[in-house]
Amino acid sequence: MESTHRPGNSMATQWLLNIGHAIDHMFLLIFATAVTSIAADFGFARWEDLMPYGVAAFFFFGIGSLPSGRLGDHWGRRKMMTVFFFGMGAAALLVSVTQSPLQLALALALLGCFASIYHPVGIPMLVQNAVRPGWTIGINGLVGNLGVAVAAVTTGFLVKFLGWRMAFAVPGVLCLLFGLAFAVFATREQGAPAKKKAGGAVLPAGVSIPRLLLVMTVAATSGSLLFNFSTNSNYELLTDRLRGILQDPAQIGTLLALVYAGASFAQLIVGNLIDKMPLKGLYLGIVGTQVVMLGLAAVAQGWTFYLLQFLFMVTIFGAIPFTDAMIVRFVDDSMRSRVSGMRLAVSLGASSLAVWLIGPVVKQAGFATLLGVMTATAIVSLLVVSQLPATPAPRRAGLSPAA
């Protein structure tokens, strides 16, 4: 495969950073996949009543991006990613030994704090020497969402055969081993990014960083809401829509893993197109399709719903690379972690509301209403993306102006 990096990051570093993305998404979704078993263990009559205990994890996942991004730029991205791997592994092990809902919520909150490191630190570290940033982000997104697929299938099997505690403990131990590998093999930094000389990123004519950041943040917030609504409810949603057809948790987890694995390739395709096409038109097309697929899914049942679930996850995953691609193109590397952190703190912090809403909305109004809320959110995304400034395609296919 053609190299997508200038000399800088070793192949081992690239692989470990991509694996870190998979870990980040996988660990945050173990709870949502195992929630029925955890609720039964803690004496809850309904899984929906336990869902709010996971909100803190997603709140700190978002708000923690702000200090994580600042530390990434000023202290060093390699150091922060080492903290990420060891912190995630230790927090997952802590979740596995909790004995009450409050302990569970606190341990998940700690997991969210460490999870907040990856996006503002790991992605800027990965793309800082990228020749084809869109493709690099696409590969990273593919691997990250394969982590979502792994969460669905491995959690289903671990819960079925070993219990929900091992669903956290086994990945936790593996994460500590990846942390050790990163500490040994990851490329050494020559200095913190903020101490480097700025390279002069190019903005579109008449567009300021504050305006671009505002539109990106609002679009990313609605996109993050959809990501949290879908990934945190898909297992129970699929169980509900296949009722009478299939009920085995391991089989449903496998079906959902296939959805996530297949839909993840959308990021690879979109990442390749980002390097060749104007961002705005491509983004609008994906979000517009998202509206249609979610609207149809709201009234579908059985295997028809399963097909539509795959299609709306294609569009939700396919929309993810755009904000990172714009930051790479228009923000200098010396401050990318801080800009990413500011954007993520708002979008991910606000989208943690989705995790809290899932249980009450489904309990009171059912999954059709939840899908209706998701459709409305996609419409908001479409309106916001329409306000993005028009930007030309990269000057040369395969090279971003600000790469």
Euclidean distance between the first and final Cα of the chain, in Å? 20
Rounded Cα distance, 350 and 14, in Å: 30
Rounded Cα distance, 98 and 342, in Å: 32
Rounded Cα distance, 24 and 294, in Å: 26
Rounded Cα distance, 214 and 299, in Å: 34
The domains found in the chain, sorted by start residue, are 11-188+205-385 (1.20.1250.20)
| Band (261; pLDDT cuts 50, 70, 90) | confident
Distance (Å) of CA 185 to CA 14, 36, 218, 285? 11, 39, 37, 41
pLDDT value for 198: 56
Query: What are the backbone dihedrals phi and psi of residue 399, each rounded to the nearest 5 degrees, phi first?
Result: -140, 120
* Highest averaged pLDDT of the listed ranges 102-106, 198-202, 275-279: 102-106
Residue with tokens 């999954």: 367
The answer on pLDDT for 65 being more than 60 is yes
Encode pLDDT of 40-56 as tens digits: 999 998 888 898 888 88
Helix (H) or strand (E) holding 190: none
Span 99-112, mean pLDDT?
Answer: 95
Give the other-Cβ count within 10 Å of 334's Cβ: 18
Span 205-232, mean pLDDT?
Answer: 79
Encode pLDDT of 295-337 as tens digits: 999 999 999 999 999 999 999 989 888 888 878 777 777 778 8
DSSP string, 160-180: HHT-HHHHHHHHHHHHHHHHH
Encode pLDDT of 110-140 as tens digits: 999 999 999 999 899 988 877 787 888 889 8
Encode pLDDT of 267-286 as tens digits: 889 888 888 888 888 999 99
pLDDT value for 202: 59
DSSP string, 319-367: TTHHHHHHHHHHS-GGGHHHHHHHHHHHHHHHHHHHHHHHHHHHHHH-H
Angle between helices 209-241 and 336-365 (to 10 degrees): 30
